[in-house]
Amino acid sequence: MTGPYGVLFEKVLTRVDPERAHHGAFRAIRAAGPVLRGVDRLARHGTGVRAMGLEFPSVLGLAAGFDKNAVGIDALAALGFGFVEVGTVTGEPQGGNPRPRLARLPLDRAVVNRMGFNNDGAEAVARRLAARAARLAHGRGERQGLSHRPRPSVVLGVNIGKTKVVPEDAAIGDYEKSTGLLAPYADYLVVNVSSPNTPGLRDLQAVAKLEPLLRAVRRRADEATADRDRRVPLLVKIAPDLSDDDVLAVADLAVAIGLDGIVATNTTTSRAGLLSPPEAVERAGVGGLSGEPLRRRALEVLRLLRGRVGDELTLVGVGGISGVEDAVERLNAGADLLQAYTAFVYEGPLWPRRINAALAKEAAR
């Protein structure tokens, strides 16, 4: 961490509860949205890519978890993110786990979270996305005299998960509810079965349970978007803690049922190899670990997936991407797109622009 943000982080933000700091920073980003949107094209210049039939203005996106309720999509995009994945959104609103539920491990450039899918629920988020779509259509129509739905300059992903109180045998219906409400507004959908913070959720990664779930979500998404001129791409997000054999089994399933991609990976429950002293790790508590310690395993999972699926699926590399070297390494390993979260927390709002600029230079060589 360098520059003014580094000083702010070290002197102020580290002394504030991480969840409060997150909400404060996000409010500031949203407040600056109108100014930021004036320079967003420059922020993402030269790093675009086409995947899943979509034009991504930047290969770098913001992972789910930062904007859980779809309240700051366009302001975040203006920082340089070519796509923003909102959520995780559940069928029913829920408050999440008791606080404190977010901790930093600065020596490891890591975050531990046990948020528990706190969000406003699919109905509220769908209303918010509908209002955004109407604003975009109105603004574009006023400027250009157009009546059709405009394509905003950011790709919108929607990440859906299981409501905590819904039993496992009713999980498919819960995911179907979210899908029906949210698919009409999503450029792509992600089924999250890999958070460690909802009891029993990771059990859904077993192929026998995952296949009927993904098929049901696919059917419901197609029903909900039957009036659109394109099929909404569907991806699944998996855990780094799966065995290699289980990773390959998910890859085979994704190809067999015609998924569009895989997001690799979610957070880890492992605490192996951390630089932070044991007492700091113990204070951080249970939950999913993200950031630099996840880099090696996330890279391994990505390589396993690409070796198995060839060019058939879009792979989104996420986990431990801190600098341009990490980004290039992940792209060379087979990622079509990249996502970040923890590096954004540690490096600040100018970080996406710096990564995009560095990737553009790499591409020009």
Half-sphere exposure of residue 59: CA atoms within 13 angstroms, side-chain side: 27
- Is 310 annotated in a binding site? The answer is no
195 is catalytic: yes
- Asked if residue 261 lies in contact with residue 314, where contact means CB atoms within 8 angstroms, the answer is yes
- Is 90 annotated in a binding site? The answer is no
DSSP of 184-226, one letter per residue? GG-SEEEEE---TTSTTGGGGGSHHHHHHHHHHHHHHHHHHTT
- Is 68 annotated in a binding site? The answer is yes
- Is 26 annotated in a binding site? The answer is no
Is residue 290 pLDDT above 70, yes or no? yes
Average pLDDT over residues 187-195: 95
Is residue 80 pLDDT above 70, yes or no? yes
Cis amide prior to 88 (ω within 30 degrees): yes
Average pLDDT over residues 172-176: 98
Determine the Cα–Cα distance for residues 327 and 321; give it in Å rounded to an integer: 6
Determine the Cα–Cα distance for residues 218 and 11; give it in Å rounded to an integer: 47
- Is 180 annotated in a binding site? The answer is no
Find the catalytic residue in 195, 276, 290, 322.
Answer: 195
pTM of the entire predicted model: 0.92
Indicate the helix (H) or strand (E) that contains 238: strand 234-238
How confident is residue 229, by pLDDT bands cut at 50, 70 and 90?
confident
List pLDDT tens digits, range 93-146. Answer: 999 999 999 999 999 999 999 999 999 999 999 999 999 999 998 876 555 544
Contacts of 344 (CB under 8 A, 6+ apart): 62, 66, 351, 352
How confident is residue 282, by pLDDT bands cut at 50, 70 and 90?
very high
Q: What is the CATH number of the domain that holds 255?
A: 3.20.20.70
Domain that holds residue 314: 3-364
- Is 114 annotated in a binding site? The answer is yes
Tell me what pLDDT residue 7 has: 46
- Is 342 annotated in a binding site? The answer is yes
Q: At residue 283, what is the residue type?
A: R
Tell me what pLDDT residue 143 has: 52
Q: How many domains does the chain have?
A: 1
